[in-house]
A and B are shown apart, each in its own frame.
Chain A
Amino acid sequence: MAVIRTVRTGAWRVVELITTPVVPADYLDVIAPLRNARVLRAKIDAVRPETETSVTLVLRPGRGWVRHEPGQYVRVGVDVDGVRQWRSYSITSAPERRDGRFTITVNAVPDGLVSTHLVRRAKRGMIVHLDVPTGEFLLDRPRPAKALFVTAGSGITPVMGMLRSALHELSDVVVVHSAGTREAVVFGSELRALAAEGRIRLIERHTRTDGRLKPADLDELVPDLFERRTWACGPNEMLDDLETHWADAEAGHLLRTERFRPTLISSAGGGTVTFSQSGTVVETDGSEPLLDSGEAAGVLMPSGCRMGICFSCVLPLREGAVRDLRDGQLTVAEPGDNIPIQTCISAAAGPCKIDL
């Protein structure tokens, strides 16, 4: 065995020498982009329209993918106008699929760079980049006797993933879902079919005609509200309201929420900069390069030309927003992102976290 291993590593070294300075995988990527275990990618196998503004993408992940838990999301990297943009999408399929494929459902939001791109331009055969599935918005084990799901808009997506994989283990399920109109309900026909079969109790709220759902409405709609385990996903205001309502009833432990935290961008510029490795925290204004702020606080910053041309000062922005001091261009990183920025010509445009 040891001999075989030695021969194999030796042979691999020779292959690496054949392709140096690039790695053999760079050549492999051209013909088989899903075979590279170091760079996780997926091929779009099918695109299915859901509503006028949403589509479901069937993705075939490449090597390196791990099975998800119902309710988890995946970060997807898509090249939009030449720039790789990463966004999180809930997985809407059950994890048990034999073929290893999974689905995400994308709702085009106004001004949403990536969601609009995917809804308009995603095609069968397209390659997207992936991260492994993650998220804590999960069903408990053992399964609760009574469950309630409160969702709005695309907040139905993680819940759909849960229903599709675990509904047979749940006996008493109520889904309260809000959407602008009846037609705008993502997975509308599937939910209604489940309700017709008596497998869930579905309460649809069409906010364009009925107005927004208030937590107090829930007391009437679901009389045994606080006897249920509740999962909620939707706009932040809705989740805030629900959390208050559950806390007031001293039932906070029964509620789980999944929310998207938008990056804070201060129009005046400036913000708290955290250098995550050194633990240094600096208050900056919007006119000073991050390089200067960091150095002034005693952080050992890499630096070079100090005018934006040499790229020696590049550091990863992990969270937050920075503004290019030359042309005012914003760069926004969401949790999980890792965007290299030039610190010598970038200033904070809100709280941000730098990996140094």
Chain B
Amino acid sequence: MTTIQRKKANPVAHLTPEDIEQIGIELDAIRDEVMGSRGENDAAYIRRVIAWQRGLELGSRGVLLFSLFPPAWLVGTAGLTVAKILENMEIGHNIMHGQWDWMRDPKIHSTKWEWDHASPAEQWKHSHNELHHTYTNVVGRDNDLGYGIMRVDEDQKWHPMHLGQPLWNFVNACLFEYGIAAYDLELGKNLATKERRRDPKFRAGLRKVRNKIGKQVLKDYVVHPALSGPSFLHTIAANATANVIRNLWSHSVIMCGHFPNGVETFEKTSIEGETRGEWYLRQMLGSANISGSRAMHLMTGNLSHQIEHHLFPDMPSNRYKEIAPRIQDLFQRYGLSYTSGPLPKQVASAWYKVIRLSLPNRGEAAVRRPVEKKAPAVSTRWRRVQPATPAAELAGTP
């Protein structure tokens, strides 16, 4: 793809600034409706998923104490894989997004949660919630576009190093949690110069990652195998398998979010002075969904509703499904394309892009148009066109 600002056929050319703000108003209304109706059932949902996940993890690890026996190995590994996927996707990712902060339960809160992953929660929240979700698909601002090691957009400069990117991508997929930890540390940038390497902030981050990885490795590759005694090596193999499958799965889901065909990217200068409506529009165009069953939604942490998630990152994940038809209707009314497809198709589409862009662009000059530069301006993404109507209801006094 090429950034939307350089494309010959601009998919949003038909929208007036008023249209764009109107989209924002409609989306805010949907948001308020759902956020205002959060309650007991939603709280019960996340507590149920957590309890279920913990039961599954404990049970699977219990079975793996006897991993010497092939059936136990298979059942335990399968269970642990599912438990680890649930823990990362539906539970960890979403809690750290603040989707459940409204419950005011300090145990299930974005500021307190730590996950079964190489990257410490604090660093991941910065690079993911703050950078990726605010600057989604802005070339040069959103490092999730290729994670700094790949070229996934025509407008990213080609370098001979990119010839190997199908291989990097596969290696990254297998070791995804470590890739994310390195990415959250901005390892490439921070190792580049002596000065950056010595920066105390970087060193403190590095120490935290080292501690986190140390604990994770001890747990999966020393303590649990040791507990299983004669099954020591089998348990190591089981835990490694669960970790790798979890890595491959989350990598695939995440590639489907922003890399498949039909997803748009944006010029750095295009977001100067961005309004709330413009931000919403960018999220709509910059994300892609995965169609599938309820189990698929659960196992992807509802990132199968990537579009809905990017519009409302702090909305409880169990509610995306109910708003999806309304979001789709909004896309249709404003003549925008809602990118969605089954997992194999979206994964293939993303991989195709990784392979194609490992080579330099061909004849793109003809389709490109010059970019209109916007002057630097303060963005007002938080400000609604229609100011909030103060709710009469108080949070309650006894």
Contacts and interface: CB of A to CB of B under 8 A. Distances in A.
B393 to A, nearest CB: 7
Interface residues of B, number: 62
A88 B398 CA distance: 8
Interface in A290-320: 304-312, 314
A329 B102 CA distance: 12
A177 to B, nearest CB: 20
A119 to B, nearest CB: 11
A353 B193 CA distance: 43
B158 interface: no
Contact of B43 (A82, A109, A307, A326): A82
Contacts of A305: 129-130, 133-134, 381
B107 interface: yes
Contact of B382 (A17, A85, A114, A326): A326
Interface stretch (A19-27, A43-51, A217-225): A19-27
Given A305-B130, A323-B390, A340-B111, A310 B125 contact: yes
Nearest to A77: B104
A327 B32 contact: yes
B195 interface: no
Given A14-B223, A20-B215, A82-B40, A332 B54 contact: no
B219 interface: yes
B314 A308 contact: yes
Contacts of A340: 101, 104, 109, 111
Interface of B: 28, 31-32, 35-36, 38-44, 51, 54, 58, 97-98, 101-105, 107, 109-111, 114-117, 125-126, 129-130, 133-134, 215-216, 218-219, 223-224, 227, 276, 279, 313-314, 381-384, 387-391, 393-398
A126 interface: no
A74 interface: no
A77 to B, nearest CB: 9
Nearest to A86: B104
A263 interface: yes
For the side of the interface on A, what is the size category? 35 or more
Given A18-B224, A310-B125, A85 B396 contact: yes
Interface string A75-88: 00001111111011
A271 to B, nearest CB: 14
Contacts of A26: 54, 107
A326 B104 contact: no
A88 B38 CA distance: 25
B54 A79 contact: no
Given A310-B130, A324-B388, 19 more contacts: A21-B116, A26-B54, A27-B54, A79-B43, A79-B103, A80-B396, A83-B43, A113-B398, A287-B387, A304-B129, A307-B279, A309-B133, A310-B134, A326-B384, A327-B388, A330-B391, A330-B393, A332-B394, A332-B395
27 contacts: A21-B114, A21-B116, A22-B54, A27-B58, A83-B43, A83-B103, A84-B104, A304-B130, A305-B129, A307-B134, A308-B382, A309-B313, A310-B129, A311-B129, A311-B314, A312-B125, A314-B101, A321-B395, A326-B28, A326-B31, A326-B32, A326-B384, A326-B388, A327-B31, A329-B391, A330-B393, A332-B395
Given A289-B382, A305-B129, A339-B104, A112 B398 contact: yes
